[in-house]
Amino acid sequence: MDLTDVWNRVLGGQPSPQLELVLIAGAVALIAVLPWRVWRITRNVVTIAHEGGHALAAVLTGRRLTGIQLHSDTSGLTLTRGKPRGPGMVLTAAAGYVTPSLLGLGVAALLGAGKITLLLWIAIVLLAAMLVMIRNAFGVLSVLVTGGIVFAVSWYASTDIQAVFGYVIAWFLLLGGVRPVFELQRKRWRGRAPDSDADQLAKITGVAGGLWVTLFGLVSIASLVIGTTLLLPH
């Protein structure tokens, strides 16, 4: 396969799967999000998206990105340098919890346009860019495993398998973007998250942390609703 074939394969359109397969993909995503024992593992993917959101917002707003850490307890840390206040810091801190849902919405839009292979290769490029900034062993392993799975599906799997995999990713990001917001607020009620993104935003802006959590929740739920309409065949 030459470069032209690869390019055509990536940019070419693929037919959408039948409604039954879309619903099966949604059921698989639910299984990956709802049971706690499964969520302890799959939440690492949401953490990658979360920290990637912080990192991208930092770069786009002119902050200096110095490193990203992903931990085995599914927590993460994105280190940046710049002004401790101001729009750049606010956008960087606010990006984490909304990024998985917004990514899910973008994935749903690409799937609706039939760009399944393109979607998978965009994911690979983003993971590769993130890998450069990872600063701990578990983080490197998490990104490599995730990227390896996506690459294997994009390169070796049939069109039908790619489609189902893409829909599972979309459903997972849309559903998995909602749960961490509720987990965050539950931890805040119990006093177990004094340095959460919402509380850091409260210190920076003077807006109550609960209002920031509400904003995160509204974005994630709206993304789920809109994404669902994009994913279900018309």
What pLDDT does residue 15 have? 62
What pLDDT does residue 10 have? 52
What pLDDT does residue 37 have? 94
**Cβ burial, residue 210 (10 Å; 0-12/13-18/19+):** middle
pTM of the predicted structure, to 2 decimals: 0.92
What pLDDT does residue 192 have? 87
What pLDDT does residue 118 have? 86
pLDDT, averaged per 10 consecutive residues of the chain (234 residues), comes to 52 69 94 96 97 97 96 95 93 97 95 85 94 96 96 88 92 97 94 91 96 98 96 82
What pLDDT does residue 129 have? 95
What pLDDT does residue 68 have? 97
What pLDDT does residue 194 have? 86
What pLDDT does residue 11 have? 53
What pLDDT does residue 8 have? 54
Virtual CA dihedral for 213, 217, 220, 224, nearest 10 degrees?
170
Which has the closest alpha carbon to 111: 59, 173, 30? 173
